[in-house]
Structure 1
């Protein structure tokens, strides 16, 4: 099949897990004989002079990287305007592409490419497939209190209701999308994220170096890695650390990643009097991350909101013992007592107890880590996920044009919570 995929990130332009998802899916679809074109963008803060639009092929995938237009629009300060701008640039590049090439399907990844995806699918008269990777209401625990939240939610609703087929990465995300976007959950296909375990093989010398760096005294160290945002729950790990250190003196936490919450998290560590026991290391290269994962006594993923949790797969691929909340897709990825230990989101006592259980029972933790790694090839293989995606493509049909009004915005909590 001829597939036109749109994504606002694609390696090396990566913000979170979405970029890695699209990269792996596109390559696997191409390897399975499909003709895949990915319409994506150049890095933040660039323009057509510094980073002109390119059209190249890599790993069997044709990549059209779109230059940003001249206006001074910042992703951080002008999110909706920036999205409209990059959508306009993608639409123009897509129309040039469609002058002599027609896709069988158009596949949009998340709300930031909605404007271009809707326009190009309509122009090509091709079915529109949409993957919902997360929702604005979910990120804010059901609250759409500010104009920006409401604007993003309305674009997500537009994409979901314009799509001829909808995909989510977990059953939890399917139910969330159905509730928020007035969609029948029976029409949504659940296809998990995947992992390439070979990428996470680590040399023993690198693991030893990571242990020397983060645990020079031989005491336990815990690792969190991901975006430093409230929804990732790192503050709950910091709150639990004093309790963990009472039973396991000297335990340290390594926080790897960047985000808008970095300064706040430093204050949280100071508030809980554990700042000297927490090391904020920023972004780690893939090699550094793999070694640190393999060296950690436990990887802790305390998310308050998590559509899927690809970080749990990466930890499993590195053979790390897992402690994770049951938020969203994490509850499907980490099977409590089988492939890791789980606790309810926001439960600081439960988090501390789970970490203590790992540190008290290293043999059992190792068995769970082995089970998690073994599950990767059966449940999270990219070749199977790509084949499932191709089945969605083959079954999709372009529906009649729909006239959509503006969605209603919940005046209270969108999930009915208090």
Structure 2
């Protein structure tokens, strides 16, 4: 969208906002998607928005220009063979990003990706307000990432809290993360608000046709496998799909978010977690743009997200906004958010047992029901889409967000 200057700050000038992230595209979802939404939102209300990146595709550059956002690239040196990395933004910003403007009103970091970079770059702009957006809860998510991640939980939590001590305003994405950081920052002096992301317009604008009566069915899962299979519940999904394919042999399982160089490891992880099913076929798909995700959802009969720990789960929210039947675990932040909306959203939530085999059986029963009762489940999904969008649940948190930057909704 083009930037439209509609509001001035209370001081009578347009605020200059510096967003800190490693990318502008939304292929990896989550933090990058929220970062772009924040940038678009502020730019549409008159702010001048800059966003750091390590690199960008031509599509990223086109999207940023259309959004009215200036991308800031790192300086590279001809004889330096090193690839751009986040450390440049954190510890080498003086030399790698020397062309930042002389004055910045707000610096926005994302915990834990660029929160320390934001704190350090603020030293160049002592008068700027530091805003941090929290996306992670190490004590939940790192439990499922292997021994090294578990052993580093304490250090990671301390580092996050140390960065937040220097923060002026913090926004936590969703009710689960907001509740966690209310407790964590109780002794700190900062403003803390909940941020409820609105689904991207590209999903809201989707007009799906009712399912056709075919034996072929499609289950779509979205998310990286290698290193986070326990966290994202990909192992549960593999076991679940064994039950589903046994009952409905023509079902296709499409798994979006597998990089080419991770394919062998990802396939080994899935094959090791199929339970009593010797072979569960799946179609690996690489990281996708939002346009590609829309195409995935157009072909999907259900989106399956059986996470054991998910701070929010934006892609599930966007699937609901698209009007696709969704299955999420009760352990996700998205489930906590949905239970606060309307009892009808309970149909998307499945309570998973700590016993993996029992959890897979429970999930498979729900997936099979959706696949065998397509027209009814489609109508229910369309009803949930309408309820979600009609509620405008995001409005209050977005007004608070604008007020933080001296803008009005």
> TM-score normalised to the size of structure 1?
0.74
Counterparts of residues 1-400 of structure 1 (less than 5 Å): 1=9, 2-12=15-25, 14-42=27-55, 58-67=66-75, 82-92=85-95, 96-99=99-102, 101-103=103-105, 105-124=106-125, 125-141=127-143, 146=148, 149-180=153-184, 187-198=191-202, 201=205, 218-228=215-225, 229-230=228-229, 231-258=231-258, 262-268=266-272, 272-273=276-277, 275-335=279-339, 338-339=344-345, 340-345=347-352, 347-378=359-390, 386-394=398-406
**Partner of residue 6, structure 2:** none
Cα distance in 2, alignment partners of residues 363 and 266 from structure 1: 31
Using the TM superposition, give the Cα deviation of residue 26 of structure 1 relative to its aligned residue in structure 2, in angstroms: 0.7
Cα distance in 2, alignment partners of residues 251 and 337 from structure 1: 30
Superposed CA deviations along residues 219-258 of structure 1, whole A, max 9, x for unmatched, are: 3221111222221111111112233344444433211112
Using the TM superposition, give the Cα deviation of residue 186 of structure 1 relative to its aligned residue in structure 2, in angstroms: 10
Using the TM superposition, give the Cα deviation of residue 182 of structure 1 relative to its aligned residue in structure 2, in angstroms: 5.7
Q: Secondary structure at the match of 2:307?
A: coil
Structure 1 128/271 Cα, relative in aligned 2: closer, same or farther at 3 Å? same
Structure 1 344/271 Cα, relative in aligned 2: closer, same or farther at 3 Å? closer
Structure 1 5/136 Cα, relative in aligned 2: closer, same or farther at 3 Å? farther
Superposed CA deviations along residues 355-397 of structure 1, whole A, max 9, x for unmatched, are: 23323433442233113322443456877754331123349xx
Contact kept? 2:176, 2:311, Cα under 8 Å = yes
Contact kept? 1:238, 1:268, Cα under 8 Å = no
Contact kept? 2:109, 2:131, Cα under 8 Å = yes
Q: Secondary structure at the match of 1:5?
A: strand
Cα distance in 2, alignment partners of residues 226 and 306 from structure 1: 11
Cα distance in 2, alignment partners of residues 196 and 35 from structure 1: 21
Aligned residue pairs: how many? 370
Structure 1 191/275 Cα, relative in aligned 2: closer, same or farther at 3 Å? same
Contact kept? 1:312, 1:333, Cα under 8 Å = no
> TM-score normalised to the size of structure 2?
0.76
Tell me whether 11-20 or 106-115 shows the greater mean CA deviation: 11-20
Q: RMSD between aligned alpha carbons? A: 3.7
Cα distance in 2, alignment partners of residues 236 and 24 from structure 1: 31
Contact kept? 1:238, 1:269, Cα under 8 Å = yes
Superposed CA deviations along residues 9-60 of structure 1, whole A, max 9, x for unmatched, are: 332375332112111221121111222222332259xxxxxxxxxxx95522
Using the TM superposition, give the Cα deviation of residue 185 of structure 1 relative to its aligned residue in structure 2, in angstroms: 11
Superposed CA deviations along residues 336-363 of structure 1, whole A, max 9, x for unmatched, are: 8624421235532331232233234334
Q: Secondary structure at the match of 1:221?
A: strand
**Partner of residue 60, structure 2:** none
Using the TM superposition, give the Cα deviation of residue 300 of structure 1 relative to its aligned residue in structure 2, in angstroms: 0.7
Structure 1 243/199 Cα, relative in aligned 2: closer, same or farther at 3 Å? closer
Superposed CA deviations along residues 160-217 of structure 1, whole A, max 9, x for unmatched, are: 2221111111110112234456657995211112222345656889x99xx9xxx9x7
Cα distance in 2, alignment partners of residues 144 and 3 from structure 1: 41
